[in-house]
Amino acid sequence: MTDEITQYMSQDKLKSLEIELKELREEKIPGLAKRIDDARQMGDLSENAEYHQAREDMAWAQSRVKQIQYILDNFKIVDEDNQTDGIVNIGSTVLVKGDRGEKEYIIVGAQEADPSTGKISNESPLGAAFMSKKKGDKVEVQLPSGVQEFKILHVK
């Protein structure tokens, strides 16, 4: 049994990951292979900074390919038109009231999370606490700053 986690994302995010994967495989990795080969031609590898940097860059690129491939093997597109009215789910916009006033969040998959713009992951403590809740529900969330209570004012 595997511990695969479904990666939720929008169609736009899927497209951007597919483009990134193609660029890595067709441009970046072949370019890095050439850099490694060119640096290898310079002689003593123990003192060759260009060689070591190119190898590090290659390791990163290959790791990123594996990461993107894993995501693409385990994704589910969020259908924003098929949201259950009034119940928080991935793709929902949630207006909540907490200790610091009202705040609006959009629940997204981990790949698209950007807390600075109000997009929080369904896997984050806050996002996970809001999942499956509805207007009027009170939610307690353990955050690094301590337990905070939120009241859900609106879900769309």
CATH number for the region 80-155 comes to: 3.10.50.30
User: How does pLDDT run along the chain (156 residues), one tens digit per residue?
Assistant: 345 677 888 888 899 999 999 999 999 999 999 999 988 888 777 778 888 999 999 999 999 999 999 989 988 887 665 566 788 988 899 999 998 899 999 999 888 899 999 999 999 999 999 999 999 999 999 888 889 999 999 998
DSSP state, residue 113: -
- Domain locations in the chain as residue ranges: 7-77, 80-155
Tell me, which fold does domain 7-77 have in CATH?
A: Helix Hairpins (1.10.287)
Angle (nearest 5°) at CA 29 between 25 and 30? 100
Rounded (10°) angle between helices 49-73 and 29-40: 160
